Chain A
Amino acid sequence: AQSVTQLDSQVPVFEEAPVELRCNYSSSVSVYLFWYVQYPNQGLQLLLKYLSGSTLVKGINGFEAEFNKSQTSFHLRKPSVHISDTAEYFCAVRGISNFGNEKLTFGTGTRLTIIP
């Protein structure tokens, strides 16, 4: 089984400032890692994913995340945020198995609020 902890439920950031949203996970097997964004009254949109290879992954809208296996973390970063980045961000983990796509396990989310 897997679990995900998003350490900050709310993060206020001034416009054009950098931001880091923290995510830690636990799993007894190897995992794939994801960040999703959810705008108000909408579904989830995939920001980026780590499947294998380079531990630094780049996603859409200028976001990037770094997989740290020793610290079981997958923190999301953006060097300069915009008003349009205001949304809920979810970290998710998927255990790797031989039986096809395992379920996604989500954290409780981090609400990012950009202050003009």
Chain B
Amino acid sequence: DAGVTQSPTHLIKTRGQQVTLRCSPKSGHDTVSWYQQALGQGPQFIFQYYEEEERQRGNFPDRFSGHQFPNYSSELNVNALLLGDSALYLCASSLGSGGDDFGPGTRLTVL
């Protein structure tokens, strides 16, 4: 039973570019959340998708957008990349009120 998977593992972009990160939730999970983890910090909530709609959003600018597909997989898009967007991006999936299952993350470096 595969857990949460994310792609790519690592990514290097330059300022101003756009990036798309992908996530497949754990089998049976219907809710996907995205978190940004800067170096030495705890994860910060970006947004959550349920039934293909954004249900909650954290304090992130509109440059951060997402999508959820009918098979529950999800994408995170970041436009006009800034140096400060360099971080580990974590995808988490859940079903019900228990703890979320996290993927291994995508390490984004913006030069």
A: residues with CB less than 8 A from B are: 4, 32, 34, 36, 42-46, 49, 51, 90, 94, 96, 99-109
Contacts and interface: CB of A to CB of B under 8 A. Distances in A.
Given A32-B97, A36-B102, A103 B42 contact: no
B99 interface: yes
Contact of B45 (A34, A103, A108): A103
A104 B45 contact: yes
B21 interface: no
21 contacts: A36-B102, A43-B102, A43-B104, A44-B43, A44-B102, A46-B101, A49-B98, A49-B99, A51-B97, A94-B97, A99-B55, A101-B50, A101-B94, A101-B97, A101-B100, A104-B33, A105-B45, A106-B35, A106-B42, A107-B42, A109-B41
Interface of B: 4, 31, 33, 35, 40-45, 48, 50, 55-56, 58, 90, 92, 94, 96-105
Contacts of B101: 46
B99 A34 contact: yes
B41 A103 contact: no
Contact of A46 (B43, B44, B50, B99): B99
8 A-B pairs with least C-beta separation:
A106-B42, A44-B102, A103-B45, A43-B102, A46-B99, A43-B104, A49-B99, A108-B42
Contacts of A49: 98-99
A32 B102 CA distance: 17
